[in-house]
Structure 1
Amino acid sequence: MKKVLVARPIFPDVIERLRQYFEVDANPGAPLAADEFARRMADRDGALLAGDPVTAKVLEGAPNLKVVSNMAVGYNNFDMQALNAHGVLGTNTPDVLNESTADFGWALMMAAARRIAESEHFLRAGKWGTWSYDAFLGTDVYGATLGVLGMGRIGQALARRARGFNMRVIYHNRSRVAPEIEAELNAEYVSKADLLKRADHLVLVLPYTAENRHTIGAAELASMQPTATLTNIARGGIVDDAALIQALRNKTIAAAGLDVFEGEPNFNRDFLTVPNVVLTPHIASATESTRRAMANLAADNLIAALGEGPRAGNPPNPINPEVLKK
């Protein structure tokens, strides 16, 4: 039997699915340290991962490896140049988390706009004594302008939600979406500069690449409205976290909602010193049905890529399909 590594704990029934086809080394505990991860990958034909770094060094030590299946949409944990050089297929799990992630992005945006976390901390600390007309004044969402940076599947799902709030939708993307999608979403394509200037609530939904690192930095934050909010459900590193902390302190923007961070889980602890930010630990896709769908799709990719199951040789979600032709 071919050998696979499951590097993070996942649903037991998914492990059992894999054991129908493979010899499975399943890690039941904390993420593997780099050296241990490389050691356990050394004799594997495939691996089911959740953000574990697949580097050139790992690949050099794993001569039998054919596929790395990421239980995520993003795959910035993969050294794609090294994967291609070693003829290793990478796969991901798009689409199945669109709606759950969009729901969560909307919740973060609302929480930031209406100062929900800040006011809850105030209440829990026993500080609530009387009503005041100016207590925790936030910004309206209904009738405001939603700015979407990255109009992919999740960005489009967010834009659909804006219709129920009577919002104007503007967006910026590497390229414009199809005219029929713009019409469906009632979305206006604008420059990045115009997006930053006009958005009352800016949501980031773009993939992480080297080019996208610090897409939102001090200059971009300074160009936003002082009443604006920023929500990041994309990837850490797209925002310069140190610059954002300073902008929140200085009230350059009103508030932020963040589910992702640079260097996570070792995020910048200065975020804990500013009240006008809502912080969550990368859980935008965390509903049971969505995480099950992600795990099963990652398993489908792994099984098919290793020549097993009903889609043998034809995995649903290849990132670099050109290696299948080699």
Structure 2
Amino acid sequence: MNRRSCIFQNESRQKHRYHEHEQLKDNRKKGLKVMAKIFISGEIPEIGYELLSGHQFDVYRGETLITEEELIAGVRDVDALLCPLSTKVTRKVIESAPNLQIIANFGAGFDNIDIAAAKEKGIPVTNTPGVSTEATAELALGLMLAIMRRIPEGDLLCRTKGFNGWAPLFFLGRELTNKKLGIVGFGHIGQAVAKRAKAFGMDIYYTGRGKKSAAIEAQYDAQYLEFAELIRTCDVISVHSAFNKDTHHLFTKETFAAMKEDAFFLNLSRGPVVKEADLALALQAGDIAGAAIDVYEFEPKITEELKVLDNVVITPHIGNATVEARNEMAKLSVQNILRVLEHERALTPVY
């Protein structure tokens, strides 16, 4: 049996990588018309499949990320592609799908898709902005507490070395209260972080593409600073910016050297915003006090030096990994597909 025939067998959900949803089989038995062919390049919440009831769709269920070869085979004759943020939709993939009418990205970002190639082919690209704001902001505060109060480090100590009793100088961390929080990227997520940080008694500063309105600044009691001033003066830097040519490697050894030695750094935006090797060196040298990272420059690969440092907390890109957020992302992705297939404008087009 060749690789292609092995990949596309659909008889068993457990044994094979692709599975035709049971609802489609029921529809065929009932003689119902299958309206469109859709390929989903990674498993999504059940609500997404339910909304696609009546359409023909295959789901990639591999234990590893889908390869370009497998993706090309999957999209060859489909009308729509629903792809998680981890799926790389290259020009080669797009050009191999002559019937493709929409690429619906399951995620707020879309740097995994060759937008120029999609534009050339007239294929709409959509994403899922807004629905993951609260979950990501919650994680930001969780990571802030984790690194500043040394929570994972304390958990590990109790499990391995043992807790020998309370002492005045034992396991000291830093409080969030009265600290200056510098938010890089003051969009929906940045503002949601500010709302929560304000409740902890933090002073809010932000930087980005420009100064926000007086109303927004008043709402979060936030003050605009130029980037250089923000990283030089703030106690905590939390990154929530979009990823583009201007933010690629925004944080390098020079940036970390300009920060306060007792500052903490968080990145919940995109991995390539940070030059990861430089971050590891800054942490090793004591240029900054600590870091908490949820996204990685060469994701899913994580720089080995980060894994062994006590002053860094690393999480596996779980910013919006809540049941609530992922369900909303699934619904929005599918709604975009259905609207485009019905010749209506998508709800959240990228361009």
Distance between the aligned counterparts of 1:223 and 1:35, measured in 2? 44
Show the counterpart of 1:167. Answer: 202
Question: Are 1:299 and 2:334 an aligned pair?
Answer: yes
Q: Which of 229, 234, 252 lines up with 1:199 in the alignment?
A: 234
1:131 CA displacement? 3.0
Which amino acid letter does the alignment assign opposite residue 178 of structure 1? S
Show the counterpart of 2:346. Answer: 315
Please say which structure displays the higher CA radius of gyration: 2
1:59 CA displacement? 1.1
User: CA, structure 1 residues 215+261, in 2 after alignment: closer, same or farther (shift >3 Å)?
Assistant: same
Distance between the aligned counterparts of 2:320 and 2:43, measured in 1? 16
Q: Secondary structure at the match of 1:154?
A: helix
**Residues 131-167 of structure 1 deviation map (CA, whole Å, 9 limit, x = unaligned):** 3333322222011111000000000001111221222
Show the counterpart of 2:29. Answer: none
Q: Which of 224, 247, 251 lines up with 1:216 in the alignment?
A: 251
Distance between the aligned counterparts of 1:132 and 1:219, measured in 2? 38
Show the counterpart of 1:323. Answer: none
1:12 CA displacement? 2.7
Q: Secondary structure at the match of 1:264?
A: coil
Identical counterparts, % of pairs: 33
- Aligned 1:143-182 pairs, distance under 5 A: 143-182=178-217
Q: RMSD over aligned Cα, in angstroms?
A: 1.3
Q: Secondary structure at the match of 1:62?
A: coil
Q: Secondary structure at the match of 1:252?
A: coil
Question: Are 1:23 and 2:47 an aligned pair?
Answer: no
**Residues 49-68 of structure 1 deviation map (CA, whole Å, 9 limit, x = unaligned):** 11211111111111111111
Give the number of the structure with larger relative contact order, counting CA–CA contacts within 8 Å between residues 6 or more apart. Answer: 1
Q: Which of 260, 267, 277 lines up with 2:312 in the alignment?
A: 277
Show the counterpart of 1:94. Answer: 129
Question: Are 1:2 and 2:2 an aligned pair?
Answer: no
CA contact (8 A) 1:139 1:227 kept: no
1:237 CA displacement? 0.8
**Residues 1-58 of structure 1 deviation map (CA, whole Å, 9 limit, x = unaligned):** 32110111112332132132x2111123333111111111111111111121111111
Which amino acid letter does the alignment assign opposite residue 281 of structure 2? Q
**Residues 204-259 of structure 1 deviation map (CA, whole Å, 9 limit, x = unaligned):** 00111132111111001011111110111111111111111111111111111111
What is the aligned residue count? 315
Distance between the aligned counterparts of 2:348 and 2:47, measured in 1? 21
CA contact (8 A) 2:261 2:288 kept: yes
Segments of 5+ residues of structure 2 without an aligned counterpart are 1-34
Show the counterpart of 2:82. Answer: 48
Distance between the aligned counterparts of 1:166 and 1:199, measured in 2? 14
CA contact (8 A) 1:9 1:29 kept: no
- Aligned 1:104-183 pairs, distance under 5 A: 104-183=139-218
Show the counterpart of 1:13. Answer: 47
Q: Secondary structure at the match of 2:206?
A: strand
Distance between the aligned counterparts of 1:12 and 1:164, measured in 2? 35
Which amino acid letter does the alignment assign opposite residue 289 of structure 1? E
**Residues 169-188 of structure 1 deviation map (CA, whole Å, 9 limit, x = unaligned):** 11101122222101111111
Distance between the aligned counterparts of 2:175 and 2:276, measured in 1? 25
**Residues 87-121 of structure 1 deviation map (CA, whole Å, 9 limit, x = unaligned):** 11110111111111101111001111111111211
Distance between the aligned counterparts of 2:44 and 2:62, measured in 1? 10
User: CA, structure 1 residues 13+171, in 2 after alignment: closer, same or farther (shift >3 Å)?
Assistant: closer
Distance between the aligned counterparts of 1:19 and 1:281, measured in 2? 32
Distance between the aligned counterparts of 2:198 and 2:269, measured in 1? 22
Normalised by the length of structure 1, the TM-score is 0.93
Segments of 5+ residues of structure 1 without an aligned counterpart are 321-326
Distance between the aligned counterparts of 1:71 and 1:7, measured in 2? 10
Which amino acid letter does the alignment assign opposite residue 37 of structure 1? L
1:314 CA displacement? 2.0
